[in-house]
């Protein structure tokens, strides 16, 4: 409570945050491509997703990618190729991401440094470090009840539950958003902000 009081005294703003998985959610994954996304040339963002993410951005949400990239630990992909694929995803999505975070660990790695971590989903380390980093930059904080996590796998759902964040399946989310677009994004943001009793007038 002391930390929250200090944030409020210095004008820190409670802000909705959208956490999104990447493969199978924002961009085509193994199910669609028949292979993992290992390099920039493999990146293909789902139709309509950039426009939907832009609506969230315009409505005042922060947008953070949360992705397991264990192929790095297993020597199936280099960190450089993974970073290039992230940058290409960022580009294809219209540069809307406030942060793109990924875990390079995998429990099957023979190297303990890459086998044990606090960031691989369903652990919540990537969410915490992203929120803390953005809070420092933008003088905001991100209450879990204002957040939404989108993903396509059980570990995504479990990660959201572990963090106390509402979860929505990727296919459901893409379908709803493409059907209702701007109205749904605005209504969802206002619902979350009202829940905190902090609905503010738009600038």
The yes-or-no verdict on residue 91 having pLDDT over 90 is: yes
* pLDDT average, residue stretch 136-155: 94
Residue 42 tokens read as 């493999």
Question: Which residues neighbour 37 within 8 Å (Cβ) at sequence distance 6 or greater?
Answer: 22, 23, 27, 28, 29, 43, 85
pLDDT band at 190 (very low <50, low <70, confident <90, very high): low
Q: Determine contact, residues 85/37, Cβ cutoff 8 Å.
A: yes
Is residue 202 situated within a structural domain? no
Q: How many domains does the chain have?
A: 1
Global confidence as pTM: 0.85
Which residue range is the domain that position 163 belongs to? 13-195
Is residue 26 situated within a structural domain? yes
Grouping H, G, I as helix, E, B as strand and the rest as coil, residue 141 is strand
Is residue 8 situated within a structural domain? no
Q: How far apart are CA 131 and CA 23, in angstroms?
A: 21
pLDDT tens digit sequence for 22-65:
999 999 999 999 999 999 999 999 999 999 899 889 888 999 99
């Amino acid at each position: 409570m002391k930390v929250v009081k200090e944030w409020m005294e210095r004008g820190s703003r409670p802000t909705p945050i959208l956490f999104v998985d990447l493969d199978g959610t924002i961009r085509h994954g193994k199910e669609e491509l028949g292979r993992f996304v290992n390099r920039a040339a493999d990146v293909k963002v789902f139709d309509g997703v950039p426009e939907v993410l832009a609506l969230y951005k315009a409505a005042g949400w922060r947008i953070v990618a949360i992705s397991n990239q264990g192929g790095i630990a297993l020597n199936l992909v280099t960190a450089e190729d993974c970073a290039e694929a992230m940058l290409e995803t960022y580009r294809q999505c219209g540069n809307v991401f406030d942060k793109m975070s990924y875990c390079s660990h995998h429990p099957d790695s023979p190297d303990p440094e890459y086998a044990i971590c606090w960031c691989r989903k369903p652990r919540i380390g990537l969410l915490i470090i992203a929120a803390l980093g953005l809070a420092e930059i933008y003088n905001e904080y991100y209450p879990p009840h204002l957040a939404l996590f989108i993903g396509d796998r059980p570990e995504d759902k479990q990660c959201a539950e572990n963090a106390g964040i509402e979860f929505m399946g990727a296919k459901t989310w893409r379908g709803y958003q493409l059907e209702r677009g701007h109205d749904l994004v605005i209504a969802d943001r206002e619902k979350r902000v009202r829940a905190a009793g902090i609905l503010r007038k738009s600038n």
